Structure 1
Amino acid sequence: MKYQLPKLLWGTMLLSVAFLLQLSCISESSDPSISLDPNLTLENPSREQESYPLENLRMDPTTLKMLADLRAATANYHDLTNALAAGYELASACVSHPTMGAMGFHYVNFGYVDGNYNPTQPEALLYEEDKNGNMKLVGVEFVVVSAAWDAHHTMIPYFGTQIFDIALAPAPLPFDNYQLHVWVWRHNPSGIFTKFNPRVSCL
């Protein structure tokens, strides 16, 4: 069953997340000790990969393969025009946190926001704007409508061995959902699955 997301509410709710996170204790499910080392060779690497190899991450082989597949599936979206042509549209201003970094601009394909989860088809693409006004792809976000997912599954979705975060309405979205940020295009020293990235900023 499709969840018809009010598009204006999406942006409003995302902008409130930074303020709400300051008021609550944030539990991150990713390992902040994750380190990077060059090793995992990807097919068709993008020239805008920003010297961020997904190499020797301290993860199981299945998760590493899923990360490589996700990067390959989203490499075409370094060019924002390709993302727009694929149905992604701007859904928020740049989202940031005063101490933990930023998420960037969310470009969402609202046709994907439902109770399904495809590990190579993220619901949102995360972009950082550079000083010249160009959008740089830095990561992705998966968003699964929890009510629709739970109707057919007994477990929360996983990306490999990484469990999704649980987000309850009304923030950051107006419906309960399972979500996961994956920083496949900009190294996140806080962890590849952590919500905010200290190496991403809003101008």
Structure 2
Amino acid sequence: MKRQFIAFAVVTLLAAGLALSSEWFMSHDHWYAKEPEKDFALARLIADIRTSTSQYQDLKQAQADGYVQISGNVPLEGYNFRKAGNTQFDYHHPSTLLYAQREGRWQLVGLKYIASGVRPAKTPFQGIDWERSLAICRYADWQEFRSPSQEACPKVHPETKSAFTVWYPDTWVIRLWIWYPNPYGLFAGMNPLLAPFDDHMIPPDEAGSWETWKAHTEFSNFNHHFSGWLVLVMGMAMTGSALWGGQKSRYAHLWPMLTLGVALFILYRSDPEYWPFGPRTLTELLGDREAIEHKLSGIIVLAMGSVEWLRARRILSHWIWGMIFPWLAIMGGVTLLFHLHPISNFNYVGRTNSPHTTEGVTAILAGMTYLIGSLGIMKQRWWGLVPALFVILMGVQLIVYIE
């Protein structure tokens, strides 16, 4: 009875974590921004903002009103033109105007409202959170370098050797894409449709230098490859279990333990920009759909491994527990089908999201074939090899993954 209670407590906690993660995933259905409440007041406000800022479709008018270029072409955001001395919040006079430029033609694409100091207690748009923009050093050629203080800014940019010009501290921003369509939402943190305007002069994703961007890419590749080797060995252990005794074999304990290892690795190592690797906090992570999906996948794999390990230990013996692994595998696969890396996939790699799509299909097939075996639809011993082979295929896909 005690063992059953412990098992029930573990599974309940995992289910609660999975439910909470799913709730965050569903509520953050656009990149780095929630969708606002649909009401007449918001619609009227946005219409008024469009009217008051329509004059700035002409860049010369914006410059005449005091907006000065302060950045280069930031990937998936555009050029920033800020009005000096504009410290008070004003819907109709935003702190910064965002422009795209192609073949000498400038186009107003969005607005950026900025607050300095501590995070504002209230938001000007109900349901929309302020997003932290990390402190940055800027240089004469518009290159950037992340630094928590002005004193730590290199006197010349480490790659381009351009002279240091200004340092901006941490700020809180809300972007409003009312002058260019954005599939990620009206208040999203980036706009993938600006990819054709990018000149690839500035590295993406707040990297600050191409060397840092390369390090971030290598970090991601290592995570995928190391996870792939763990999954590959896990699939081989599943194969041994299917061939030599199923739940009674010595391999029955091995592959669930490897599954737990994969889960803990994902939960710890994913998203280097967040704690414990980067400057962003766990609270900020909850506003980032990409990071939430990474943690959600870790929780799903943790639940799968925990249930299967408890089944191998004979603590969970009811047939219903055999349904957990396949259904969670299918859920994880569906998550992968819709998982995107907006910077790398849209802007720098020049490819669709095919790696995660194929991985998602593989996970779904692994779950479905495992489910067919668990339900007794296919009772042959060799059928146990089928989901194991899909797990091995998943491992290979992760090993050859390139960010």
- The interval holding the TM-score normalised by the smaller chain is 0.5 to 0.7
**Shift in Å at residue 83 of structure 1?**
0.2
Residues 114 and 171 in structure 2, CA contact (< 8 A), matched pair in contact too: yes
- Counterpart in the other structure of 2:108: 137
Cα distance between partner residues in 2 of 1:180 and 1:129 = 22
Give distance in 1, aligned partners of 2:192 and 2:98: 14
1-structure distance, mates of 2:168, 2:31: 21
Of 32, 53, 61, 1:74 maps to 53
AA aligned opposite 1:198: P
Look up the equivalent residue of 1:70 and give its one-letter code.
Answer: I
Which protein has the larger Cα radius of gyration, Structure 1 or Structure 2?
Answer: 2
1:146 aligns with 2:112: no
Contact 1:62 1:160 in 2 (8 A): no
> Greater strand percent: which structure?
1
Query: What letter matches 1:78 in structure 2?
Result: Q
Stretches of structure 2 lacking an aligned partner (at least 5 in a row): 1-29, 137-145, 148-166, 200-403
Of residues 175, 180, 183, the one that matches 1:186 is 180
How far apart are the structure 1 equivalents of 2:43 and 2:127? 10
Q: Distance in 1 between matches of 2:81 and 2:183?
A: 23
Confirm or deny: 8 A CA contact 1:28 1:194 kept in the other structure. yes
Contact 2:31 2:188 in 1 (8 A): no
The alpha-carbon deviation at position 168 of structure 1 amounts to 4.5
If each structure's helix is expressed as a fraction of its own residues, which one has the higher value?
2
- % same residue: 26
Aligned length: 140
Structure 2 counterpart of 1:107, one-letter code: F
- Report deviation, 1:202: 1.4
1:29 correspondence with 2:26: no
* 2-structure distance, mates of 1:137, 1:27: 21
CA positional deviation for 1:27: 6.6
Matched-pair contact (CA < 8 Å) for 2:31–2:189 = no
Contact 1:157 1:178 in 2 (8 A): no
Alpha-carbon spacing, 1:181–1:117, altered in 2? closer, same or farther (3 Å): same
- CA shift in 2, pair 1:119/1:110, >3 Å: same
Tell me how far apart the structure 2 counterparts of residues 135 and 198 of structure 1 sit (CA, whole Å): 18
Aligned partner of 1:111 among 81, 85, 90:
85
TM-score w.r.t. length of structure 1: 0.61
**Would the aligned equivalents of 1:105 and 1:127 in 2 still touch at CA under 8 Å?**
yes
Separation in 1, partners of 2:131, 2:122: 9
TM-score (norm 2): 0.32
State the structure with bigger RCO (CA 8 A, min sep 6), 1 or 2.
1
Separation in 2, partners of 1:106, 1:165: 16
- 1:136 is matched by which residue type in structure 2? Q
Deviation at 1:60, TM superposition (A): 2.0
